[in-house]
Amino acid sequence: MRADLVRRVAVVVALLALLVPATALATDIYVNGVRLTFLAGVTLPNATVRFDERGNVHITAPGYRLVEQRHDGTERTLGDAGTSTSTPTSPPSPPEARPSPDTRPIPAAITRRYFVVAETNAPGQVQYNVDVMINGTLFRTYRDTPARVIDDITSRLRPGPNEVHMIARRVGRRSSAATDYLRLTVGEGRAEGTTAVIDTTLVRFQRGANEVRTVEQTFSVFAR
């Protein structure tokens, strides 16, 4: 068990080393009634120390509470009588936001059309490649040239929720201007000649020439 003291002090005093004989170091240590397996690097002002008949060390430190940090992000406050309460803390942020499950009824078939539109205002300058995965399979890698690419992805989707995962990787550095971008849009729309009109934007993923890191993001696209 790892216990942390809420109130910490900077000075390390080897209190037990001074008071406890070497033969007693194998016995138990209790702080405010809580048995600890390890205690080092702390000072407890105004604490009292008592040794019982078995050589166990009992430390009473008014104003302190002991907290066990759990793996699930909660804190377990340890009490004198062996009781405890669990106080939730903010869990660490996940490396990637996952889409929430879509609970809409799943249609029998897809009757709409869906497109990916990749466009850049600085062809050849942004220097990002973006891999687009649809339901776990690589669909295409989009680059910062040509200026505009349109793909119909309707046949790659299944009725209901679909997972679209995008991974942007830098492949060079010709520009560092924040105004130079590569933008991918996934949407529901219709074809008009050699182009497509997006009626409903479902996903927008954009990277700028001023960025350098690899970025991954997962989206949910509901096909109907």
Written as tens digits, the pLDDT of the chain (224 aa) is 444 444 433 333 334 444 444 444 457 787 777 777 666 667 777 788 888 777 788 788 777 776 666 666 566 665 543 333 344 444 554 555 566 677 889 999 999 999 999 999 999 999 999 999 999 999 999 999 999 999 999 999 999 999 999 999 999 999 999 999 999 999 999 999 889 999 999 999 999 999 999 999 999 999 99
Same domain, 122 and 219: yes
pLDDT of residue 3: 45
Q: How many CB atoms lie within 10 A of CB 7?
A: 11
* pLDDT on residue 38: 61
Residue 181: beta bridge partners? 208
Whether residues 117 and 215 fall in one domain: yes
Residue at 108 is within a domain: no
Give the whole-angstrom CA distance, residue 131 versus residue 143. Answer: 9
Where is the domain boundary, 53, 72, 88? 88
* 8 A C-beta contact, residue 217 and residue 165: yes
Q: Identify the pLDDT of residue 77.
A: 65
Are 83 and 131 in a shared domain? no
Query: Does residue 167 sit in the same domain as residue 78?
Result: no
**Residue 51 belongs to domain spanning:** 3-88
pTM (2 decimals)? Answer: 0.56
**Is 105 inside any structural domain?**
no
Are 127 and 204 within one domain?
A: yes
Tokens 């973006």 correspond to what residue? 130
